[in-house]
Amino acid sequence: MKMIVGLGNPGEKYKLCRHNVGFMLVDALAKSLGLEWESNSKLKSEICKKDDLVLIKPQEFMNNSGVPVSLVANFYKIDTKDITVIHDDVDLPFAEIKKQIGSGAAGHHGVESIITSLGTKDFWRVRVGIGRPTSFQPVDEFVLSDFTGEELERVRGMEIIGK
């Protein structure tokens, strides 16, 4: 079984923010597969499943994403090498995608939480570039700011499968 995790923060307030690009892309994947999200409070996630694929959106805040990821992985007995985590990355130019396995968190607190909860960094990461602030805006404020309309259109058109 394989699991794809989209990282983000739950709630309407964060729906269109840069930090939620993982949620946005896993939502698009679920839609393309004709899947509907179901809330699972026991696993602290929104989940959809098809055959040997589980998609999840952890329903804890970003810095605690590891708990739901670990709960779902344990419940479905998913090997860490079969987990892919999609998340924002300020160190990549906007809309650039990089896929890698076994790398460190590089300061991303959601990824740090997953590494801690799983006890390993041997899972796939799909890093999605959100760019960097162009002014003196602190990075933590930038990642929680909404995409512009033009940026949002580009994000919605991104392909993550096959990357």
Instruction: Examine the residue annotation and report whether 109 is marked as an active-site residue of this protein.
Output: no
Please pick, among 19, 87, 108, 109, the residue that the annotation labels catalytic: 19
Residue 74 and residue 83 in contact, taking contact as beta carbons nearer than 8 Å: no
Residue 29 and residue 10 in contact, taking contact as beta carbons nearer than 8 Å: no
Question: Strand 45-50's sheet: what is its strand order?
Answer: 38-40, 45-50, 53-58, 2-6, 83-89, 124-129, 97-101
Instruction: Outline where the chain has alpha helix (H).
Output: 21-32, 66-75, 109-118, 139-143, 149-156
R_g of the chain, CA atoms, integer Å: 15
Which residues are marked as active site? 19
